[in-house]
Amino acid sequence: MSFILLTGAAVNAQFKKGQLMPGITVGSIFFNSGKTEYSAPPPTTGYTSNTNSAGINLSPSLGWFISGRTVIGGRVSGNYRYDKYLDASNNVTFRKKEDRVTQWGLGAFVRNYFGQAGRFIPFGQVAVDGGLGNARTEGFTYTSTYRETYKGKSGSSSFINAGVSAGVTRLLGEQVGLDLAIGYVFSHTQQKFTTDTFRDVGIDGTIDETLKSEITTRMNNHGVTLSMGIQVFIGRK
């Protein structure tokens, strides 16, 4: 009983003004693999489409308690995503596309804890991030009369994210906590993409046509996030 009381006292006194809160949050780690089969009445030939995707989002952070419940801080965000698409007919791949997107940025957050009793402490958080990135794409397409290959990359890319979340910190000890949270995020991304396309008419190994295209895209996205993180609470002596 004395051990339980001492542990509870340590938890209740965990958060104090002036404490530091370094940590890292995993916004998402995912891998998707899918297969779709397309069929049609003769003489149209069906085909199979395979999709593979993987990505990770990491946000190391450092917070400072300005009171016994409120934390302000900054963080570094890093995102990577890879997508691969393959279309095949009669076990022959006639279309392939690979995309790679990398983003990195800086941000700020404000977190408020609701209570300090127990090992499960709920919180609300507001965060804003902004930064730069790059994207690359490449692939090919076969038809009965030509083969077309292309490569593209973004010359300039920027993003801004703003989000709110609610979660709980599960204290694993006096100085370490596990975060679980769900939230909403708004994201704005702008990029200028340049693509070079090469067409081999007759499929004889000779490039007969070339094309360069430049496209600027602006995208707004609304999403739901699930995140997990580890926080360390460094107190004043």
How far apart, in whole angstroms, are the C-alpha atoms of residue 236 and residue 15?
Answer: 10
pLDDT in tens, 139-185: 999 998 999 999 999 887 899 999 999 999 999 988 899 999 999 99
How far apart, in whole angstroms, are the C-alpha atoms of residue 15 and residue 118?
Answer: 12
Taking the CA atoms of 82, 87, 90 and 92 in sequence, report the sign of the dihedral they define.
negative
- Whether 186 has a pLDDT exceeding 70, the answer reads yes
Helices within the chain (DSSP H only)? 2-12
Task: Domain ranges for the chain, please list them.
Answer: 2-232
Q: Which residues pair with 30 in a beta bridge?
A: 55
Assessment of whether the complete model's pTM goes beyond 0.85: no
pLDDT in tens, 190-225: 989 899 999 999 999 999 999 999 988 898 989 888
- Give the architecture (CATH level 2) of 2-232: Beta Barrel (2.40)
- Whether 79 has a pLDDT exceeding 80, the answer reads yes
From the number of C-beta atoms within 10 Å of its C-beta (0-12, 13-18, 19+), residue 27 rates as buried
